[in-house]
Amino acid sequence: MSQDWNDFLSRQGASPDGEHFGAAADELTAARSGTVVAPLPDFGLIRAGGEEAASFLHNLLTNDVKNLAPDAVRFAGLCTAKGRLIASFHIWHDRNDDLLLMLSADIVPGILKKLSMFVLRSKVKLADATAERVLIGLAGSAAEALILDLGAQIPFPLQAVPFADGQIVRLDERRFVLAVEPAAAATVWQRLCAKARPVGSAAWRWLEIAAGQPRIVAGTQEAFVPQMANFEVPAVGGVSFTKGCYPGQEIVARAQYLGKVKRRMYRARLEAPVAPGTHVYAPETGDQHCGGVVSVAPAPEGRHECLVVVQSSCAEAGDVRLGAPGGPRLDLLSLPYTV
């Protein structure tokens, strides 16, 4: 984010780390049952331009990019040759028809470097576009009315629509991301705050967890194959099994067609926050971990919630421990979709 945007948010009451606006518990309650607007400093953007940008990404990512409609949004991952995820993205066309990839901000430099290694003679240009747009999250029952107030049409889930100051990307029924021109960000923010409560990154992460939406960050790179993080579930929609080859595709396809995926992603409650990538254990696996934490956020009901990849048999047994075989027990919760 630009310093001007940071300074503006600070004047609005944002904490230095962006986690809240001074009333964390109330913000979480609003995220659960009201309408909220959130700065998204922990996301960044990569721009892919040029006549071969779509085919270039199509050949590298887990989902179909070549056939991405001009107003469509797609979720996808980037894997190692061993099929392990090193990034997850929401992808859409910018207004000039370049492709924008939204991913965790902490991995933008490394992923940009990784993608650049594959360019060779392809007619594609890659750039860190984080400073080109201010990303604002919007969620809740009044979100559609606010979008109309901005002069935009209401997008369908996984659709991007333009408005005067940028684009509105609908992630699902509840969550939207506005990619706003930096010069207009403060004005757009104030207009949204007319009907939405400002919340910090913590509340937005909880919304992400409640939606069962995985996000790969530095601490979880190379920890999961896509199916472990529910990428193939239609509600997540991060893998195409008909698009053709990409790095790790053989491993991903083998897991889908020739064997049962033994680890899946669940939602769980925990007492205290831990870092993404923290291992989990169960009596069945002894001293060997049976999965790892994907993301964590404080919860409206108190304590914390997480998305966690766990060996399915361990989850079914109901005794999953955090950090060590004798660590705190996780209470498994329901996801909004069937795994």
CATH number at residue 274: 2.40.30.160
Q: What is the distance between the alpha carbons of residues 183 and 194, in angstroms, rounded to a whole number?
A: 19
| Residue 337 maps to a domain | no
Q: Which two tokens stand for residue 335?
A: 């996801």
On the CB side of 61, how many CA atoms lie within 13 Å of its CA?
28
User: What is the per-residue pLDDT across 219-236, written as a single tens digit (0 to 9) for each?
Assistant: 999 999 999 999 999 999
Tokens 């991952």 appear where? 77
DSSP 318: T
Is residue 156 a part of any domain in this protein?
yes
The CATH number covering residue 163 comes to 3.30.70.1630
User: Average pLDDT, stretch 20-49?
Assistant: 97
Residues 56 and 102 in one domain: yes
Q: Is residue 143 part of a domain?
A: yes
Residue 211 lies in a domain: no
Judged against a pLDDT cut of 70, whether residue 253 lies above it is answered with: yes
Percent of the chain with pLDDT over 70: 100
Residue 1's pLDDT band, with cuts at 50, 70 and 90, is low
> Among 62-66, 199-203, 250-254, where is mean pLDDT lowest?
250-254
**Contact predicate 91/57, CB 8 Å:** yes
Distance CA 104, CA 139 (A): 19
Q: Which of 13-22, 63-72, 252-261 is predicted least confidently?
A: 252-261
Check whether 264 has a pLDDT greater than 90.
yes
Neighbours of 59 (CB within 10 A): 18
Mean pLDDT confidence for 198-222? 98
The number of distinct structural domains making up the chain is: 3
Range 274-306 burial, b when 16+ CB lie within 10 A, else e: bebebbbbbeeeeeebbbbbbbbbbbbeeebbb
User: CA-CA distance, 164 to 192, in Å (whole number)?
Assistant: 14
User: Which amino acid type is present at position 328?
Assistant: P
| Contact between 296 and 305 (Cβ < 8 Å) | yes
- Res 336 pLDDT > 80: yes
Indicate whether 224 and 320 sit together in one domain: yes
Domain identity same for 139 and 270 = no
For residue 326, pLDDT over 80 is answered with: yes
Residue 207 lies in a domain: no
Contact criterion met (CB below 8 Å) for 325 and 287: yes
Ranges of beta strands (E only) in the chain are 36-39, 43-49, 73-79, 85-93, 99-104, 125-128, 134-139, 159-163, 166-170, 175-180, 197-198, 263-270, 279-281, 291-298, 304-311, 321-322, 331-333
* Domain assignment of residue 161, yes or no: yes
What confidence score (pLDDT) does residue 248 get?
A: 97
Average pLDDT over residues 164-175: 97
C-alpha 76/C-alpha 240 separation (Å) is 9
The model's confidence at residue 259, banded by pLDDT at 50, 70 and 90, is confident
> Is residue 162 scored above 80 in pLDDT?
yes
Are residue 37 and residue 142 in the same domain, yes or no?
yes
Per-residue model confidence as pLDDT tens digits over 52-84: 999 999 999 999 999 999 999 999 999 999 999
Name the residue with higher pLDDT: 30 or 255.
Answer: 30
- Residue 260, pLDDT > 80, answer no
pTM summary value: 0.97
Per-residue pLDDT reduced to its tens digit, 91-120? 999 998 899 999 999 999 999 999 999 999
115 touches 46 (CB < 8 A): yes
Whether residue 31 has pLDDT greater than 70: yes
Same domain for 116 and 156?
no
Give pLDDT, residue 90.
98
Task: Please identify, among 95, 111, 130, the residue that sits at the C-terminal boundary of a domain.
Answer: 130
Residue 140 in this model has a pLDDT that exceeds 90: yes
Q: Assign 257 a pLDDT band (cuts: 50, 70, 90).
A: confident
Q: Tell me which residue range forms the domain holding 298.
A: 218-332
One domain, residues 317 and 232: yes
Report whether pLDDT(2) > 90: no
Q: Average model confidence (pLDDT) for the chain?
A: 96
The CATH number assigned to the domain holding 58 equals 3.30.70.1400
**Distance between CA 317 and CA 294 in Å, rounded?**
20
Among all chains, which residue has been given the structure tokens 């190379």? 222
Q: Is residue 212 part of a domain?
A: no
